[in-house]
Amino acid sequence: METRLRATLPDHELLRLYEQMVMSREFEESCAEQYTKGHITGFLHLYSGQEAVAVGATAGLHVDDYILSAYREHAQAIVRGADPRRVMAELFGKATGICKGKGGSMHLFDPNLNFMGGYAIVGGQLPIAVGLAFSAKYRREDRLAACFFGDGAVNQGTFHESLNWARLWELPVLFICENNFYGIGTEVHRSSALASIHKRTCGYDIPSEKVDGMDVIAVYRAVKHAAERVRETSLPYFIEATTYRFRGHSMADPAKYRSAAEHEVWKARDPIPALAKRLIEEEITDAGHLEGILGNCRTVVQEAVKFAEESPWPEDEEVYNDIYV
């Protein structure tokens, strides 16, 4: 059942969601190009296809809420408000990067945005989110910790330990599993005895739901509702957002384990044209305006690349800084 867009959000908010998804896609596609050119090195995990999850979820949270994610987190940081120029500079390994070039693609962080990091050990961020939620509750702060992770994380010990702990200590954690159906090349049903991930939470007495992660409005509504519930009850909640990455696990992965037919099915559900179609059908905007948004995003991304290219490398002495206080 599809709700009319205007019943959910005002026009400018809807257009903002669209713009954020386009920005995320353009940023990621530009990253792919810069990787091919050798400007971005190391691991590069792109978010193309999953934009509706980060964009919808972030819109459903308060700015004071903590956000943590895994290593496919460029979009989550940028949607939260991170400067695309500084994110791109980080990926280039430059001193102007959001983490001074020390973190790279997998470790974006900006405490001023309550974006508490990208983590590259699968499941590593879950206990940390629980800890942030504990500190918020202990300090009587009105904020929750929203923790993104992939379907691969649900078989780590930290997943089970963190769900149990959050419920036991009654902490405001919103667990958001981005189920893109593959942990690198292993499909969910080949790694999880119960492939319907949201059903696993019954073992921890945590309510959960599944949402269409290709529909930004559905994600927004689910997260907004869940966040309100977490805030009211100070209890954890769990959302499984089913989605699909249009690229391989990382730039090194040609994704040969997925069929072209499967890819096409999901490609047809691309969240960006899907929202564009609805925005036009419901006469919220027209194709020309959406073209303008795309043009603006491309300009921002081009500027980010230029900024990264022109930025200085870190000084050698910098390796000893920031380890200890």
Partner 1 sequence: MTSTSEMTYRDALNMALREEMSRDPSVVVWGEDVALYEGAFKVTRGLLAEFGEERIKDTPISENTIVGVAVGAAMGGLRPVAELMTVNFALLAMDQIVNHMAKIRSMFGGQTFLPMVVRMPGGGGSQLAAQHSQSLESYFMHCPGLHIAYPSTPADAKGLLKSAIRDNNPVIFLEHELLYNSTGEVPNDPEFLVPFGQANVIRSGTDVTIVAYARMTILALQAAADLEKEGISCEIVDLRTFSPLDTETIIESARKTGRAVVVEECWRTAGLGGDIAHRIHEACFDTLLAPVKRVAGLDVPMPYSRKIEKICIPRAETIADAVREVVSRKY
Residue 102 interacts with partner 1 (CB under 8 A): yes or no: yes
Find out whether 15 and 217 touch, Cβ atoms under 8 Å. Answer: no
Residue 213 CB coordination number (10 Å): 30
Q: Where are the beta strands (DSSP E) in 74-188?
A: 115-118, 145-150, 173-179, 182-183, 186-187
Which is closer to partner 1, CB of 110 or CB of 240? Answer: 110
Chain positions 205 to 264 lying near partner 1, rule: CB under 8 A, are none
Please state the closest distance from residue 33 (CB atom) to partner 1, in A: 25
- 84-92 helix and 11-36 helix, angle to the nearest 10 degrees: 20
Residue 140 interacts with partner 1 (CB under 8 A): yes or no: no
Please state the closest distance from residue 218 (CB atom) to partner 1, in A: 29
- Tell me which of 36, 196, 302, 321 binds partner 1, using CB under 8 A: 321
- Tell me which of 1, 37, 38, 139 binds partner 1, using CB under 8 A: 139
Residue 107 interacts with partner 1 (CB under 8 A): yes or no: yes
Residue 268 CB coordination number (10 Å): 10
Applying CB under 8 A, the span of 48-56, 104-112, 251-259, 271-279 interacting with partner 1 comes to: 104-112
Which is closer to partner 1, CB of 30 or CB of 105? Answer: 105
Chain positions 165 to 184 lying near partner 1, rule: CB under 8 A, are 165, 168-169
Please state the closest distance from residue 236 (CB atom) to partner 1, in A: 13
- Tell me which of 128, 177, 276, 284 binds partner 1, using CB under 8 A: 128
Which is closer to partner 1, CB of 119 or CB of 237? Answer: 119
Please state the closest distance from residue 162 (CB atom) to partner 1, in A: 6
In angstroms, what CA-CA distances link 63 with 17, 112, 142, 190, 299?
15, 10, 11, 37, 26
Residue 133 interacts with partner 1 (CB under 8 A): yes or no: yes
Residue 307 interacts with partner 1 (CB under 8 A): yes or no: no
Residue 273 CB coordination number (10 Å): 12
Q: Please report the DSSP string for 246-280 in residue order.
A: SS-SSTT---TTS-HHHHHHHHTT-HHHHHHHHHH
Q: What is the DSSP letter of 123?
A: T
Q: What is the largest CA-CA distance in the chain?
A: 58
Residue 150 interacts with partner 1 (CB under 8 A): yes or no: no
Binding mask 58-97 for partner 1 (x = CB under 8 A): --------x------------------------------x
Given phi > 0 = left and psi -120 to 50 = alpha, else beta, which region is 283? left
Question: Reduced to 3 DSSP states, what percent helix, strand and coil does the chain have, rounded to the nearest 5?
Answer: 50, 10, 40
Please state the closest distance from residue 130 (CB atom) to partner 1, in A: 5
Please state the closest distance from residue 173 (CB atom) to partner 1, in A: 10
Q: How far apart are CA 169 and CA 134, in angstroms?
A: 8
DSSP-derived 3-state class of residue 31: helix
User: Which residues lie near partner 1 (CB under 8 A)?
Assistant: 66, 97-103, 107, 109-111, 116-117, 119, 121, 124, 126-136, 138-139, 145, 157-158, 161-162, 164-165, 168-169, 321-325
